[in-house]
Structure 1
Amino acid sequence: MEQEFEEGKEVQEQPKEDKFRLVVVTGMSGGGKTQACRYMEDLGYFVVDNLPPVFIPKFVELCKHAGDHVGKVVLVVDTRSREFFDTFIHVLDDMDKEDVPYEMLFMDASDACIIRRYKETRRRHPMAPSSRISDGIAKERERLSPARAKATYIIDTSELKKVELRDKIHRIFGNSDGEQMSINVLSFGFKFGMPLDADMVFDVRFLPNPFYIESMRHKSGAVPEVAEYIAGFPVTQDFMEHLDGMMDFLVPQYVKEGKSQLVIAVGCTGGMHRSVFIAKHVFDRLKDKGLPVKLEHRDLMKNDVWEHVREEC
């Protein structure tokens, strides 16, 4: 049964997460299919855009034989298929008869909204390349009416902000346990350049530097001796206390905002001692909170002095 999203109306029941999940996305040109598919890609779906309907059964078979490599698939089918689109409903009917499980998302918007979007992008409507946009919308609505009647979900994006559309997509097509933002904690050396993909950069070159201690020069910031040296100064303790509080505040805000990946970069001069120590501290703390976090020491092996690093880190 179709579930239509309107203000104040929530999903009543979520489909059970299967090993293979097929979602067919269709709808009005300018209705938000592209944006919806981007959010589904963030959820781990393999998206195939503008697939001729006649190829759907064969493609589904290929995906099933691929096993765990292709577990969640989105097929975008719309009027861009031109004459191929006429077989769409027949293909869906055949899938229903053969009990092939699938869900269909229909993306819609008001005529006024679609016209405004086309005016903004200055693109031609696929159903009216040489006439008025309104004519194309009318033709497309008529052609899509049988598909709309078969839809599992209908989302009208006329009044939706992008973040609201994302939330709806995540609520319907996300895992039952919820999708978590992935966090990457990275240590680096400023002399090798700042990481271009960092969302937050912390410069810890003000902390005491073990490089000037001969017994620690060749050891990384992950070695207990070096870590204890760096952590033994009041300035380090004060900084870590402020840093922990900042992480406790910021990370949940990024999760709430819907960010799919967060890169936290910590830099010192060479990327061997202080940045490694602080990055590991951030990693351990986030990991203890149950967050999906990875740790990378980008420049650790670029230094001239690292003879004890590999076995210690």
Structure 2
Amino acid sequence: MGLELMAESTAESSTEEDGLTPVKPAEAELLIVTGMSGAGRSTASDALEDHGWYVVENLPPQMLGTLAELVSHAPQSIPKLAVVMDVRSKALFADIRAALRALEASGVTFRVLFLDASDDVLVRRFEQGRRPHPLQAGGRILDGIAAERELLKELRDSSDLVLDTSSLNVHGLATAITELFTETGPIAIRLNIMSFGFKYGLPVDANYVADVRFIPNPHWVPALRPHTGLDQDVSEYVLGAEGVPNFVERYVLALEPVLEGYRRENKHYATIAVGCTGGKHRSVAVAMELSKRLAQYPRVTVTTTHRDLGRE
């Protein structure tokens, strides 16, 4: 079934007795916010609260199931609940995993947002705040970060959304949270199409990575070198190269069953990264074209970011 046929009904079929169409009761939204210490949980919490979410911070994991059950029975009272949880010890982490497994078993619908950042950014944030990492004990900040990464690996891998905050300040993170969690209406999937340069490293939050270094590089064309993939001359050069139209078309088609699967699994967000050498020409032009095509699908919203555009 094509993606264009995926529109879902919000009501069940009419009953033979009265001819009425019973509407399925609305469900409360439950969001679990977790991640690396220093990655921005407090900022995310404030942003969610500003946009109507009821936020509970530092909830003991053992109470998560009880709170979720209360909200699920009265979704109109707290339609949007965000629970912010951190990992301060190995014992507490085991409790978080057990609590999430219990939620899954109970049938409660929830999403997990995992905030992450690179080690050097996390070190800088702890040093600026003049506070130790909660798991560093008598060692270095990096030791605490390494210990926390190891503890959180499984949780990170199973999260619905991993958001890399390395390049975001407080205002940038608040904006990202706003864009992700304040949309209303029947939008099921949000896609972030990100261009990047391989020489600066892979994006840590990418769900899919497309390598477009097979395309002739405009960097070696003197007239195009100063421009970027946002400029028409570069875009036409890149998208008109041999094999590129076929690649773009097939890549979009290959994503259709992925998006359908995300809908079935209640996954709401994905990052598709498009990389070239420096993140200036080819990846930018292809990312823009992919964004344009994917935005045409129903119940899909698309944002486009260019991670390395502007770097030397």
TM, length-normalised to structure 2: 0.49
Bigger helix share: 1
